[in-house]
Amino acid sequence: MVSIRKELAEYGLVPRKGLGQHFLIDRNILNKIIRTAGIEKEDVVLEVGPGLGEMTLVLAHHARKVIAVEIDQKLVEILRKKIKDDPNVEVLRHDVLEIDFKELGDRERTVFKVVANLPYQISTPLLFRFIEARQFFSTLTLMLQKEVADRMVASPGKKEYGPLSIFVQLYSTPSVRFLVRPSAFFPPPKVESAVVHIVWREKPAVKLRDTAWFKEVVRGCFGYRRKTLMNALKHSGLFIPQALEEKLKGIGLDTQRRPETLTIEEFAYLAEALGPGERNL
């Protein structure tokens, strides 16, 4: 791997803090990410945050095509020069939070394997975007802040458990494959990173009558995660039907528990008990 520091200096570039630019400089970590992603010769890979293209070029040797999405115009120009002899690489200058995944999927007529070194400040909103557009992706292999990875895989009762845990686990089986020290990047971030591999479930972990309402209930409850369930609901702004406490007790849900202890299935019971149609009253 060419020295990132040297290459940045040659191009007159300084890592942009506002874009969360931390360039991977450890070749061993790069290779572990590629192996974790399980890239095969017929795969089309969507790479987010290619930086100076070290991983892009390796991916190009394994996959049928690599589509690299980069927001920094200077990096896009450098990448396009680097991949001029690699016809199976396409560099898109785009904000990945605004890209139309359906349009991209329809154009390529395939689903993508995502490989990404995510800027920390967009990791959570981008995860929700990937979940919403999950039909266009087969797997996701993401390097992100360890704190976010911990939240993705957290179980009920843990301090990291929250809406992200529930929505990721509702549709997928995420696993933390390995941790990455700050020294693997230039400049080194102030926190540890983790590589997470996500495979979608064939069907959601629980059957939901109204997904939007379920999400509203989860977010409403976690706005007051340290209160008891009943108090959290009262403060959430959600409509509370009459005799809710008795109804919840009838399905075995103790209203003195805290929202952070409820399983995905229990949140589904709660959403059903609250009544999806009631929010419009």
Most confidently modeled range among 70-79, 162-171, 234-243, 248-257: 162-171
Counted residue by residue, the chain has a size of: 281
With H, G, I as helix, E, B as strand and everything else as coil, classify residue 194: strand
Q: Are 124 and 164 in contact (CB under 8 A)?
A: yes
In the prediction, which pLDDT does 204 show? 95
**pLDDT tens by residue, 140-188:** 999 999 999 999 999 999 999 999 999 999 999 999 999 999 999 888 8
Residue that wins the pLDDT comparison between 15 and 73? 73
Task: Give the pLDDT score at 22.
Answer: 79
Question: Using an 8 Å Cβ cutoff, are 204 and 215 in contact?
Answer: no
Please tell me the predicted confidence (pLDDT) of residue 15: 65
Stretch 195-201: mean pLDDT: 97
Q: Is the pLDDT of residue 30 over 80?
A: yes
Question: What pLDDT does 145 receive?
Answer: 94
- The confidence band for 249, taking pLDDT boundaries of 50, 70 and 90, is confident
Cα–Cα dist 271/20, whole Å: 37
The answer to whether 260 touches 162, Cβ cutoff 8 Å, is yes
| Structure token pair of residue 278 | 């009631």
Mean pLDDT confidence for 214-234: 91
Residue 167, H or E segment = helix 163-171
pTM (two decimals)? 0.89
Find out whether 199 and 134 touch, Cβ atoms under 8 Å. Answer: no
| DSSP-assigned states of every residue in 243-259 | THHHHHHHTT--TTS-G
**What average pLDDT does the chain have?**
90
Share of the chain above pLDDT 90, in %: 67
Q: Is the pLDDT of residue 43 over 70?
A: yes
Q: What is the structure's pLDDT at 276?
A: 57
> What does the pLDDT read at residue 10?
74
Three-state DSSP at 224 gives: coil
3-state secondary structure labels for all residues of 3-45 = CHHHHHHHHCCCCCHHHCCCEECCHHHHHHHHHHHCCCCCCEE
**pLDDT by residue (tens digit) across 206-222?**
999 899 999 999 999 99
In order of their start, the domains of the chain are 4-200 (3.40.50.150), 211-280 (1.10.8.100)
DSSP per position, 68-122: EEE--HHHHHHHHHHTTT-TTEEEEE--TTT--HHHHHHHHTS-EEEEEE--GGG
